[in-house]
């Protein structure tokens, strides 16, 4: 596989929206920012194929030629994410049908029915032509398939394909009835064509949920698989003509719609688009990077980020001076090998015209935003040999499972405010605050390389997961889980015999009941050392079987029963947290976990700074970032070192202003 030897720095570039006189000006300006990469052709289908029988590559040829001449790394889009108008007009079935049963027409983007044979036919034809034409261009560094795959279709065609998918999975209609517990509410089906896709006109209970979570979860899987088949179709078309260029598609962090762990197996590289809001916590931004890194346990491409503001949020604040730099280094610190922007030149019309860009509407390089982009570009250019492809290692694994995500949020009861990513983030934030590196892993990961495996709200236990967790703990590992874990199997049928089902032995507890707290309600708790705390959301009523209590509720009718426990199991330990703890109480439990498991932070010294670590070829690099709003002292371990970015010596007195960044070799 072709490997890029430099850190890509550039982004989405749409010269087709501009006259050619602008192109030369672009090249001139970009050079000042050490830009070396451009993502092109993402939305050009209508331009390349103006009608069913005509293809016209003239303009794209010119763009590729210019970029090649300038020695850009070209990230080449396949242009299949926005269908040409003629296709909708001639073949209305290419349009998706929404959850309300409405067939969509030409408009927007990302709206092709994934199971439309018409769509698939024209995609394959287009992508093969592109691969044949550009696949051997050495400047084509990466193929960018489609764009931000997502969404759902509920058309008749998808309904038929879903039934086939179900037949493959369940083999018999009896197995399907059992999996979905279709005897409930008299839903028993006898023929495959009696199955109706989940939608407002069928089993929906609210927008996007139905009376049968098993059905809904399987539809999610089917949709994720259908879109993945679209991706694979394009990939395979490319591979007919180009065996060496890496192929990716841009993902979206914790996006709910697609099982990204399954997708990543089919991709050469993970790439993704990072768009935090003005008030997104930096811990959450880090979480999404780590999740994307975890998909293949490899460095990733940052495919899109805005250099200044966005347009589609309610309040599109500017990035403050230094923020772009700090955010970029955080991205690299958590595993990125590229920094790419959306967009290189601000579009002049359409809904994204207020989205930030390297070159803004004023059209010159004389802007604050451009200066910050240029400074960063020059810095990265000097840095790339050191960092490119550096690895991250962690003692802590955090399980992220899309099946679980869907199942947990489809479930009716006990508390509608329980959200998967919020729960994940609450745990992640502890490790982030402590500067303890975390790997995100799938449910079927090899746990043995970790000291601690954390799986909050592990609602769905499927396949041999419980056994593998038992092996992990028995061998000395530390496992942490919570309320609403071990409840259901792959199709949302409850594991009978007492919660937490298959985890009961491992956790050494039986959860008799699960109380729900309304937003205005709190329970109080007391740790064994008499520290006081509060809980919210849900409360397990726990019976100790083999486990020991870490503390007990002090009010409600289950006062004196444990809210959290530890269980010695073989050589290791399981922590079970039976309620949503306030952040201080959770910190207390997780500090206990880290002590038990001998997990230590990236640097021993306490600091409010974010400190991350990547290593390559025997060398280690610390990324030191100030995301607080106050100036912070340098951790003394770094005094006497040199900041590789500014090539400045660090002393005991060095301080970091907000958004300051240091890079220090270990």
**Least Cβ distance, residue 561 to a copy of itself (angstroms):** 11
**Least Cβ distance, residue 192 to a copy of itself (angstroms):** 11
* Window contacting a copy of itself (CB under 8 A); options: 62-70, 224-232, 396-404, 495-503: 495-503
Q: Which residue, 417 or 467, is less far from a copy of itself as judged by CB?
A: 417
Kindly tell me which residue out of 61, 463, 467, 512 binds a copy of itself, with binding defined by CB under 8 A. 512
At 362 the three-state DSSP class reads coil
Q: How far is CA 634 from CA 62, 120, 356, 637, 639, in A?
A: 50, 56, 33, 8, 7
Q: Which residue, 207 or 315, is less far from a copy of itself as judged by CB?
A: 315
Per-residue contact string for residues 73-92; x = within reach of a copy of itself by CB under 8 A: ------x--xxxxx-xx---
* Window contacting a copy of itself (CB under 8 A); options: 196-204, 260-268, 281-289, 380-388: 196-204
Q: Which residue, 570 or 658, is less far from a copy of itself as judged by CB?
A: 658
Restricting to residues 595-624, name those near a copy of itself by CB under 8 A. none
Question: Is the separation of the CB atoms in 376 and 478 below 8 Å?
Answer: no
Restricting to residues 337-356, name those near a copy of itself by CB under 8 A. 346-355
Restricting to residues 133-152, name those near a copy of itself by CB under 8 A. none
Can residue 412 be called a binding residue for a copy of itself (CB under 8 A)? yes
Kindly tell me which residue out of 14, 36, 567, 602 binds a copy of itself, with binding defined by CB under 8 A. 14
Q: Which residue, 267 or 358, is less far from a copy of itself as judged by CB?
A: 358
Report angle CA 299, 330, 626 to the nearest 5 degrees: 160
**Least Cβ distance, residue 519 to a copy of itself (angstroms):** 8
**Among 73, 159, 304, 610, which one carries the catalytic annotation?**
304
Please name the helix (run of DSSP H) or strand (run of DSSP E) that holds residue 210, with its range, or none: strand 209-210
Q: Provide the CB-side half-sphere exposure for 403 (13 A, CA).
A: 23
Restricting to residues 16-45, name those near a copy of itself by CB under 8 A. 16-17, 43-45
Can residue 186 be called a binding residue for a copy of itself (CB under 8 A)? yes
Strands 338-341 and 8-12: parallel
Q: How far is CA 593 from CA 210, 471, 576, in A?
A: 38, 18, 11
At 395 the three-state DSSP class reads coil
- The single residue listed with the structure tokens 């059905």 is 215
Closest by Cα among 63, 297, 440, 292 to 305: 292
Structure tokens that stand for 378 in this block = 């020059």
* Window contacting a copy of itself (CB under 8 A); options: 186-194, 586-594, 635-643, 644-652: 186-194
Q: Which residue, 519 or 618, is less far from a copy of itself as judged by CB?
A: 519
Distance of alpha carbon 29 from alpha carbon 505, whole angstroms: 64
Q: Which residue, 196 or 383, is less far from a copy of itself as judged by CB?
A: 196
Instruction: Indicate if 148 belongs to the active site.
Output: yes
Longest CA–CA span in the chain (Å) reads: 77
* Window contacting a copy of itself (CB under 8 A); options: 106-114, 137-145, 221-229, 297-305: 106-114
Closest by Cα among 137, 143, 142 to 4: 142
Can residue 55 be called a binding residue for a copy of itself (CB under 8 A)? no
Can residue 500 be called a binding residue for a copy of itself (CB under 8 A)? no
**Among 73, 148, 159, 365, which one carries the catalytic annotation?**
148
* Window contacting a copy of itself (CB under 8 A); options: 1-9, 460-468, 508-516, 524-532: 508-516
Question: Is the separation of the CB atoms in 399 and 455 below 8 Å?
Answer: yes
Q: Which residue, 269 or 357, is less far from a copy of itself as judged by CB?
A: 357
Sign of CA dihedral 418, 398, 213, 196: positive
**Least Cβ distance, residue 364 to a copy of itself (angstroms):** 8
CA 88 to chain centre: 31
**Least Cβ distance, residue 256 to a copy of itself (angstroms):** 20
Restricting to residues 267-326, name those near a copy of itself by CB under 8 A. 278-279, 308-318, 320-321
Q: Which residue, 43 or 255, is less far from a copy of itself as judged by CB?
A: 43
Distance of alpha carbon 554 from alpha carbon 562, whole angstroms: 10
Q: Which residue, 177 or 298, is less far from a copy of itself as judged by CB?
A: 177
Give the residues across from 553 on adjacent strands. Answer: 525
Q: How far is CA 259 from CA 227, 398, 411, 598, in A?
A: 10, 16, 19, 32
Kindly tell me which residue out of 106, 241, 275, 282 binds a copy of itself, with binding defined by CB under 8 A. 106
Please name the helix (run of DSSP H) or strand (run of DSSP E) that holds residue 140, with its range, or none: strand 140-144
Q: Which residue, 31 or 109, is less far from a copy of itself as judged by CB?
A: 109
Q: How many residues bind a copy of itself (CB under 8 A)?
A: 113
Structure tokens that stand for 117 in this block = 């044979």
Can residue 334 be called a binding residue for a copy of itself (CB under 8 A)? no
Distance of alpha carbon 513 from alpha carbon 502, whole angstroms: 17
Can residue 189 be called a binding residue for a copy of itself (CB under 8 A)? yes
**Least Cβ distance, residue 110 to a copy of itself (angstroms):** 10
Restricting to residues 472-491, name those near a copy of itself by CB under 8 A. 488, 491
**Least Cβ distance, residue 546 to a copy of itself (angstroms):** 17
Distance of alpha carbon 88 from alpha carbon 625, whole angstroms: 49
DSSP assignment of 470-503: HHHHHTT-EEEEESS-S-B-TTS-B--SSBTGGG
Restricting to residues 356-375, name those near a copy of itself by CB under 8 A. 360-363, 367-369
Q: Which residue, 497 or 618, is less far from a copy of itself as judged by CB?
A: 497
Distance of alpha carbon 309 from alpha carbon 312, whole angstroms: 10
Collect all residues with Cβ–Cβ distance below 8 Å to 446 and sequence separation of at least 6. none
Give the residues across from 572 on adjacent strands. Answer: 569
**Least Cβ distance, residue 536 to a copy of itself (angstroms):** 11
Can residue 187 be called a binding residue for a copy of itself (CB under 8 A)? yes
Restricting to residues 202-241, name those near a copy of itself by CB under 8 A. 202-205, 210-214
Restricting to residues 528-547, name those near a copy of itself by CB under 8 A. 541
Collect all residues with Cβ–Cβ distance below 8 Å to 265 and sequence separation of at least 6. none
Q: How far is CA 654 from CA 323, 434, 605, 641, 660, in A?
A: 20, 21, 16, 11, 11
Kindly tell me which residue out of 28, 69, 102, 568 binds a copy of itself, with binding defined by CB under 8 A. 102
Collect all residues with Cβ–Cβ distance below 8 Å to 284 and sequence separation of at least 6. 276, 425
Structure tokens that stand for 419 in this block = 């959200």
Kindly tell me which residue out of 2, 47, 371, 462 binds a copy of itself, with binding defined by CB under 8 A. 47
Q: Which residue, 108 or 393, is less far from a copy of itself as judged by CB?
A: 108
Distance of alpha carbon 531 from alpha carbon 551, whole angstroms: 9
List residues with catalytic annotation: 148, 304
């Amino acid at each position: 596989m072709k490997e890029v030897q430099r850190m890509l720095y550039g982004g989405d570039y749409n010269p087709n929206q501009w006259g050619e006189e602008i192109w030369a000006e672009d090249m001139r300006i970009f050079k000042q920012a050490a830009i070396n990469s451009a993502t092109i052709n993402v939305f050009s289908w209508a331009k390349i194929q103006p009608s069913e029988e005509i293809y016209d590559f003239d303009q794209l040829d010119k763009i590729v030629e210019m970029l090649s001449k300038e020695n850009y790394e070209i990230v080449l889009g396949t242009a299949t994410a926005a269908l040409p108008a003629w296709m909708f007009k001639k073949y209305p079935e290419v349009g998706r049908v929404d959850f309300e049963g409405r067939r969509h027409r030409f408009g927007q983007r990302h709206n092709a029915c994934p199971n439309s044979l018409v769509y698939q036919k024209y995609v394959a034809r287009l992508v093969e032509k592109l691969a044949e034409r550009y696949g051997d261009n050495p400047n084509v560094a990466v193929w960018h398939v489609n764009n931000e795959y997502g969404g759902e279709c509920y058309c008749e065609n998808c309904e038929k394909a879903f039934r086939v998918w179900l037949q493959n999975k369940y083999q018999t209609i009896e197995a399907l009835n059992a999996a979905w517990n279709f005897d409930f509410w008299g839903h028993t089906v006898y023929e495959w064509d009696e199955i109706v896709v989940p939608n407002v006109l069928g089993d929906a209970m609210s927008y996007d949920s139905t009376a049968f979570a098993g059905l809904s979860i399987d539809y999610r899987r089917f949709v994720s698989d259908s879109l993945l088949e679209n991706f694979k179709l394009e990939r395979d078309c490319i591979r007919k003509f180009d065996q060496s260029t890496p192929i990716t598609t841009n993902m979206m962090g914790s996006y709910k719609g697609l099982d990204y762990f399954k997708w990543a197996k089919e991709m050469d590289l993970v790439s993704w688009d990072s768009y935090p809001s003005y008030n997104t916590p930096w811990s959450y931004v880090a979480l999404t990077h780590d999740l994307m890194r975890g998909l293949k346990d490899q460095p990733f491409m940052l495919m899109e980020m805005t250099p200044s503001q966005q347009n589609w949020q309610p309040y599109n604040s500017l990035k403050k001076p230094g923020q772009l730099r700090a955010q970029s280094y955080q991205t690299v610190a958590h595993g990125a090998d590229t920094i790419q922007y959306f967009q290189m030149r601000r579009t002049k019309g359409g809904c994204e015209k207020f989205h930030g860009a390297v070159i803004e509407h004023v059209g010159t390089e004389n802007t604050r935003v451009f200066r910050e982009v240029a400074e960063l570009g020059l810095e990265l250019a000097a840095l790339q040999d050191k960092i490119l492809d550096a690895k991250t290692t962690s003692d802590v694994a955090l399980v992220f499972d899309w099946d679980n995500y869907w199942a947990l949020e489809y479930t009716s009861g006990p508390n509608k405010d329980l959200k998967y990513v919020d729960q994940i983030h609450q745990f992640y934030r502890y490790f982030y605050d402590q500067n303890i590196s975390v790997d995100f892993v799938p449910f079927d990961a090899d746990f043995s390389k970790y000291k601690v495996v954390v799986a909050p709200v592990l609602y769905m236990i499927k396949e041999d997961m419980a056994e593998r967790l038992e092996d992990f703990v028995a061998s000395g590992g530390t496992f942490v889980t919570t309320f609403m874990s071990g409840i259901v199997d792959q199709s949302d049928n409850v594991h009978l015999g007492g919660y937490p089902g298959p985890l009961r032995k491992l956790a050494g507890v039986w959860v008799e009941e699960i109380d729900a707290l309304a937003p205005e309600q709190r329970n109080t708790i007391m740790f064994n050392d008499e520290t006081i705390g509060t809980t919210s959301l849900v409360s397990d009523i726990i019976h100790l079987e083999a486990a020991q209590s870490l503390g007990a509720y002090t009010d409600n009718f289950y006062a004196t029963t444990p809210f959290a426990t530890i269980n010695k199991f073989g050589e290791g330990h399981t922590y079970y947290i039976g309620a949503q703890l306030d952040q201080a109480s959770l910190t207390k439990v997780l500090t206990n976990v880290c002590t038990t498991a001998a997990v230590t932070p990236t640097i021993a010294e306490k600091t409010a700074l974010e400190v991350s670590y990547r290593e390559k070829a025997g060398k280690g690099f610390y990324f030191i970032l100030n995301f607080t709003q106050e100036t912070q002292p340098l951790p003394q371990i770094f005094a006497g070192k040199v900041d590789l970015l500014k090539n400045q010596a660090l002393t005991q007195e060095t301080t970091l202003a907000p958004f300051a960044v240091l890079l220090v070799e270990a």
